[in-house]
Amino acid sequence: MTDLIDQAQHFEAINLAQSLQAQLRRAETQARPAARGHCLNRECLEPFAEAEPARLYCGPACAEAHHRQMALAKYRSVR
């Protein structure tokens, strides 16, 4: 019995991971988000200097976090 539940949860996790990955891939192929003068990672929001009006993120970690946030927001809105 426990095995069945474990398996079901395992497949559920795979499903979720796969749809998140698909969302991430889609987000990556979409146009660059507009620069807003601060880091687009919602958990960071570090302001940038005016000399860097096109800057989107502090670094790759923030870019990745923001891609995840966008993918998650879309995933939730689809559900």
Q: Which residues bind Zn ion (CB under 5 A)?
A: 39, 41, 44, 46, 58, 62
User: Are the C-beta atoms of 66 and 14 separated by less than 8 Å?
Assistant: no
Give φ, ψ of 38 to 5 degrees.
-145, 165
> Which of 27/58 has CB closer to Zn ion?
58
Measured CA to CA, the distance from residue 26 to residue 6 in angstroms comes to 30
> Which of 24/57 has CB closer to Zn ion?
57
- From the CB of 12, what's the least distance to Zn ion, in Å? 32
> Which of 19/44 has CB closer to Zn ion?
44
- From the CB of 17, what's the least distance to Zn ion, in Å? 25
Alpha carbon separation from 70 to 11, 51, 66, 74 (Å, rounded):
24, 26, 6, 6
- From the CB of 66, what's the least distance to Zn ion, in Å? 8
